[in-house]
Amino acid sequence: MTLSSVSKKVLVIYREADKVVPYRDALVAAGIDPVLQGANVSLSLDGFEGLVLTGGPDVDPELYGETRHPETDEPDGERDALEASLLKEALARDLPILAICRGLQILNVCQGGTLIQHLQASQRHQWTGGRRDQPVHEVSIEKGTLLAEIAGKDRMQVNSRHHQAARTVGGNLRVSAVDANDGTVEALEHPGKRFVLAVQWHPEDQALHDAGQLKIFQRFGAALA
């Protein structure tokens, strides 16, 4: 039986082809059929059972009513608009969403939230060399959340590559994990939907050797039609 025959085809949005490979491999390892699509065309979710949003440049702060901080990336308006449109469609159709790093940030902004444009203690949250699959810090998981159900514990070692984070949490979202040391938001979810989970770290880099991180993709796969 092929992956496509079990109806687990998901749309994966990316900008840089070399950086999407770990996402593809983690999804395949979880029994999911990823369709990789660059953020340069008009798309819909027709024919897909879920949506995956990947890491990338900072979300345009104009979308949440702020001017650009000196440390904030040049905006990628094309990608922001595409992902906002797909998120709106996925939420309206209650399709499962897995959002990673930038994905968490665009989800939060699209739900009316705001971002910290540059973390003062950003070194704690940034990969500084070596293997990308190695943990950088620990997160504390909130009880009674989807993430807690997936992890089966209240702490998790994660890698990290970000200098921005959620500030004001968007409507209908709840915080499901924070940095165990400084309280930075590390995961959001939408409890009113079938499966909407956003994590600030990069489980795709850890999933092939860390069963706990692979569970995130497996649980996403289980939620697909």
Determine which one of 101, 125, 162, 189 is catalytic: 101
Q: Is 202 a catalytic residue?
A: yes
Pairwise CA distance, residues 212 & 218, whole Å: 10
Q: Is 101 a catalytic residue?
A: yes
Name the token pair of 22. Answer: 């770990």
Helices (H), 94-174: 102-110, 146-151
The catalytic residues are 101, 202, 204
